[in-house]
Chains A and B, each alone.
Chain A
Amino acid sequence: MKPVATTRTAAGIQTGRLAVWWLLASEIVIFGGLLVSYIMHRLAHPEWADYASHTNTWIGTVNTLVLLSSSLSAVLAHHAAEQGDGKKAAKLLLATIGGAVAFLVIKSFEWTHEIHEGFTITANGFWAFYYVAAGIHASHVIVGAILMGWVAWQANQNRELQRVELVGIYWHFVDVVWIFLFPLLYIAK
């Protein structure tokens, strides 16, 4: 294990994990700013209710289920890594990557359909927020999948097992962002 990432503790926490928390603090501001801007416009524009009614609640629901489940495998991977079982952690991370891929595939079908219906990013303010918020989120899913692939590869050789937890914390955050996007874009119509 890397000395700096795991042993330096002047801050009372592993340096690697502290770095992840700082990253997430900056992410809160990014997503938070975007979401509260959306909320302001949604509340101020009665005509957006009609635009919002076109999003597909069922696709959103399935994707929420996919992300929640991928968070479960991520935390189980963390548990396995703590037990020193790198191979099992790697397998569970692969399951999480599977969830990420499923999420993206579903999302691409959803977007293709919507764009064909004429709901493009330039259709109106609602769809602009829809694509930007879900798009930035989806880019986090892609980055997460790549990072997990790398961490799983190392974990499979029982190397850098602490990273299983770190990438997991990031992944749960991506899940939490979706937990808020889901009611905003799909439920409150």
Chain B
Amino acid sequence: MSEHAASHGTEAEHGHEEGHAHHGPKDYIRIWLVLVVLLAVSVAGPFLEIKVITLLTAFGIAVVKAFLVCKHFMHLDVQPKYVLYFLGTALAFMLLFFFGVAPDVMNHEGQNWTNMAAQEEIERALIAQGHGPALEPGAFDAATTFANTCGPCHGTGGAGDGPAAAALEPHPANFTDPAFWADPTRDHEHIVATITNGGASVGRSALMAAFGGQFDAEQIEALAAHVESLNPNHE
């Protein structure tokens, strides 16, 4: 290529110009359109609620978008090769940094140490978010779980007066009202079925969600017993 260099000013300039031969405003707009479509796909991905697809549409597409911008907008492909090499070296250092420390940063237990602060913080935060030990068998406490999970609607005491209660139609059941329990169809089986499969499954409102996915049979049994214990006439 260097024989052209003299007449074209510089060698690099020449290579650069060549790269542009097939790039006009129309090509740039086309590439922009592709980028916008890719953006739409990456936003749509999570709606399928499949983790692998979300990760693919999020990060796979990010890599493709970055590649398109680098190649077509930054014209990285027509720079002298060594530009790619030093940019690649910077990237390689980033990966070295990641893989060098990630094994110890990402585990809270190394071969010779334990990061107790991190472990405690994770436990504390998960409990605060409502999915802590509630999910650990054995550590299940029906009253606490009821207050956390059912409380927003039914009220922490089960009186049907949770913060969301007023907005719900029908109102969430008040378990402390003897009239509620006066209905003979509300036996233990019915309560268990309501909690497991939701209100709709027993001919009630679907606003009462199904919790069969969140709690196992034993835990639901405990929740039902707790609900029944709120009956003032409970013997």
A: which residues have CB within 8 A of B? 7, 9, 11-14, 17-18, 21-22, 24-26, 28-29, 32-33, 36, 39-41, 43-47, 50, 57, 61, 64-65, 68-69, 71-72, 74-76, 79, 82, 124, 168-169, 172-173, 175-176, 179-180, 182-183, 187-189
Contact = CB atoms under 8 A, between A and B. Distances in A.
Contacts of A61: 39, 43
Contacts of A13: 10, 12, 79-80, 83
Contact of B107 (A36, A44, A72, A76): A44
B129 interface: yes
Given A9-B10, A28-B90, A187-B43, A68 B35 contact: yes
11 contacts: A11-B80, A12-B80, A29-B94, A32-B94, A76-B25, A172-B74, A179-B65, A179-B66, A182-B62, A187-B42, A188-B55
Contacts of A169: 74
Contacts of A24: 87
Given A21-B79, A176-B69, 10 more contacts: A28-B90, A29-B90, A36-B97, A40-B101, A50-B129, A64-B39, A72-B32, A75-B72, A175-B69, A183-B42
B192 to A, nearest CB: 29
Nearest to A9: B10
A188 B94 contact: no
B12 A14 contact: yes
A179 B69 CA distance: 10
Interface residues of B, number: 58
B113 interface: no
Nearest to B39: A64
